[in-house]
Amino acid sequence: MNENTGQRHRVVVIGGGYAGTMAANHLRLRDDVDITLVNPRPQFVERIRLHQLVAGTGTATADYGTLLGADIQLVVDTADRIHAPARRVELASGAALDYDYLIYAVGSTGATPIAVPGAAEFAYSVADLESATRLRYALADVREDSRVTVVGAGLTGIEVASELAEEGRSVTLICGGILGPSLSARGRRSVAKHLRKLGANVLEDASVSEVRWDSVILADGTRLPSAVTVWTAGFGVPDLASRSGLRTDALGRLLTDETLTSISDDRIIAAGDSAAPSNHPLRMSCQAAFPLAAQAANTVLSRIAGTTPAVLNQAFVGQCISVGRTYGTIQLAHLDDTPANAIIGGRVAASIKEAVCKGTLWQLRREAAKPGFYRWLKGGNRPARLQADEADKEVVVR
């Protein structure tokens, strides 16, 4: 297929998170592409602010009308199955969408802690809007001095624990192994210092053997009273790809080549947390999602133009962690996402983190107004190591 045919090209983007929204906007570099974005919610969810929603210190949604290009069709529905041979997406409502190319950007979810008795029944997640909202209501139903346990000390667990501790909650953070496994020693010391100032109780080298409605049982038999238990250890992905007969990695991410093209079907391109290029995925993060999205869109545009798509090329700069509203830690990183022995801490780091959060929506709006505006850092290599939040899952669930 090439750009001289005069025909219009139908592209369906599944998932309206950071990756899907950026990809949809970037596709507008061509004016002969009809873009449909499928998302189960009518509003964009700022996942990087869900810990604020839980604590009542901020909101975590934005209007798609301010984030999407005017000619992008938003379909509020859930993709039930991808029928690749027919180039069709079947929706939960019974409707179907035909496509010439499909961008798979379904994102990630909280890992279901089935290995720990009681966790699925009694622990709350903060991985999506609905789960975070349920957690907020649960916290509102208990006394402010009731004990809260956060399981998992990756970035999500740190931010949830610190946000709640700053609100005056009695919080215990169970690390499983070490606090902040993706951080450098300096980064961990910075985070730990302020968690202590907030009054949070941090338990390193402690693991959970059972979750009950009113307590958490540790592997050594210790019982910790817990009116609300929050599970942040590990992430999973929706099973849409595997249910659709597409090849995935062990976690369920769509397997692709280095151009982000599915190894099962060259009309399907992946972006964001649900992509596994060469079975070697990047860290699940907003920081990775935007460059992946732009490159996935570029792959589609190259195929439409009849040119060879570029291979994956992006780099990282670090990790931003809020430790409450007034303190933060910026963990600087090498281009391959391994932590450097350098950080920025304190109020300055908190300001940087807030600027980054605001900047994500600003970049989406700029890309909607001027496709091709977005640029990303290049030159990084993907390290052969566990992703931070997946590492949490391994050390906590024993």
Nearby residues of 170 by Cβ (< 8 Å), 6 or more positions away: 145, 146, 147, 148, 199
What is the pLDDT, as a whole number, of residue 235? 83
Q: How far is CA 32 from the centre of its chain?
A: 31
175 DSSP 8-state letter? -
Q: What are the tens digits of pLDDT across the range 138-174?
A: 999 999 999 999 999 999 999 999 999 999 999 999 9
What are the domain boundaries of the chain? 119-233
What is the pLDDT, as a whole number, of residue 380? 85
**Cβ atoms 235, 156 nearer than 8 A:** no
Answer CATH for 119-233 from 3.40.190.10, 3.60.21.10, 3.40.50.2300, 3.50.50.60: 3.50.50.60
**Position 1 pLDDT exceeds 90:** no
What is the pLDDT, as a whole number, of residue 383? 57
Q: What are the tens digits of pLDDT across the range 16-49?
A: 999 999 999 999 999 999 999 999 999 999 999 9
Q: How far is CA 159 from the centre of its chain?
A: 14
What is the pLDDT, as a whole number, of residue 384? 46
Q: Binning pLDDT at 50, 70 and 90, where does residue 131 land?
A: very high
Q: What are the tens digits of pLDDT across the range 249-300?
A: 999 999 999 999 999 999 999 999 999 999 999 999 999 999 999 999 999 9
**Cβ atoms 167, 159 nearer than 8 A:** no
Q: How far is CA 72 from CA 46, 207, 255, 305, 364, in A?
A: 20, 47, 27, 20, 13
Q: What are the tens digits of pLDDT across the range 74-126?
A: 999 999 999 999 999 999 999 999 999 999 999 998 887 788 999 999 999 99
Q: What are the tens digits of pLDDT across the range 210-245?
A: 999 999 999 999 999 999 999 999 889 999 999 999
**Position 308 pLDDT exceeds 60:** yes
Q: How far apart are CA 257 and CA 279, in angstroms?
A: 8
Pairing, β 268-270 against β 208-212: unpaired
Q: Binning pLDDT at 50, 70 and 90, where does residue 183 land?
A: very high
Strand extents, DSSP E, 181-327: 201-203, 208-212, 215-218, 223-225, 228-231, 235-236, 254-256, 268-270, 275-277, 318-322
287-291, long-range: CB within 8 Å, 24+ apart, which pairs? 287/316, 287/317, 287/319, 288/314, 288/316, 289/17, 289/18, 289/19, 289/22, 290/18, 290/19, 290/22, 290/360, 290/363, 290/374, 290/376, 291/376, 291/377
Q: How far apart are CA 376 and CA 393, in angstroms?
A: 30
Residue 396 vs residue 163, higher pLDDT: 163
Q: How far apart are CA 107 and CA 247, in angstroms?
A: 17
**Cβ atoms 322, 162 nearer than 8 A:** yes
What is the pLDDT, as a whole number, of residue 271? 98
What is the pLDDT, as a whole number, of residue 6? 73
Q: What are the tens digits of pLDDT across the range 356-377?
A: 999 999 999 999 999 999 999 9
CB atoms within 10 A of CB 69: 18
| Reported pTM | 0.93
Q: Provide the token pair at 393.
A: 């899952």
**Position 305 pLDDT exceeds 80:** yes
